[in-house]
Amino acid sequence: MEKDIQYQVKLWLQNDEDAFKGIFTYYYPLLYRYAFRYLKSPVLSEDLAMEVLTKIWEKKAVISDHTTFENYLFTAARNRLINHWQRRIEGLLSLDMIGEGDESAIIKDQMQLQDTILSKELESVYRKSLSELPPRRRLIFQLHRNEQLSYKEIAGQLNISPRTVENQMAAALKQLRVALLQYLTSIIL
């Protein structure tokens, strides 16, 4: 089967568009299973598999070697998964999301994960990352997120400039994003 699919890819790269039907039939279930392993959602997994195959169709000119096609395909799928998780993290860290005491519910609802183990691990990584922020930065982050104070209110309360609050929030968000992405990338790879 491996040689047959490589032949189909070779034909497709030589502009035999009908050969893509065989490529689609062969790779769609593989991509679906790959995505499902990490997303635990049939709908999201179907979407990812379709997106990857659609992008491959659109970027056919970039693919030069039929023997590396599968690597290219699964690298594209992995990148889509990372982008998916990155969007989820952005949602998790959006300015108006995290309120006092409800991080667990927000993570479960926002991330829409059916896999509760991954949810709990992600929450644990988030809490650990939050605890690793420098004390002043963590205080500024929590005042803004948990108590919904504006940058100006925080600046007045802590006797610092609003610009300092803005810089500390940006640094906190960056540090949390990096920690969460590193965790998610490690489980995907």
User: Mind listing the pLDDT tens digit of every residue in the chain (189 residues)?
Assistant: 567 888 888 888 888 888 888 888 898 899 989 888 888 888 888 888 898 888 888 887 777 776 778 888 888 888 888 888 777 776 666 644 444 455 555 544 544 444 455 556 667 777 888 889 999 999 998 888 888 889 999 999 999 999 999 999 889 888 888 877 777 766 655
Q: What is the per-residue DSSP string for 77-89? A: HHHHHHHHHHHHH
Give the pLDDT of residue 91: 66
Domain extent, residue 134, equals 101-188
Q: Are 122 and 111 in contact (CB under 8 A)?
A: yes
Is residue 96 one of the residues assigned to a domain?
A: no
Check whether residue 59 and residue 129 sit in a common domain.
no
Q: Are 165 and 151 in contact (CB under 8 A)?
A: yes
Q: Which of 69, 66, 4 is nearest to 31 (CA)?
A: 69
Last residue in a domain, options 58, 90, 122 = 90
Give the pLDDT of residue 188: 59
Give the pLDDT of residue 153: 92
On whether the pTM is more than 0.75, the answer is no
Give the pLDDT of residue 166: 92
Check whether residue 85 and residue 25 sit in a common domain.
yes
The CATH number of whichever domain residue 164 belongs to comes to 1.10.10.10
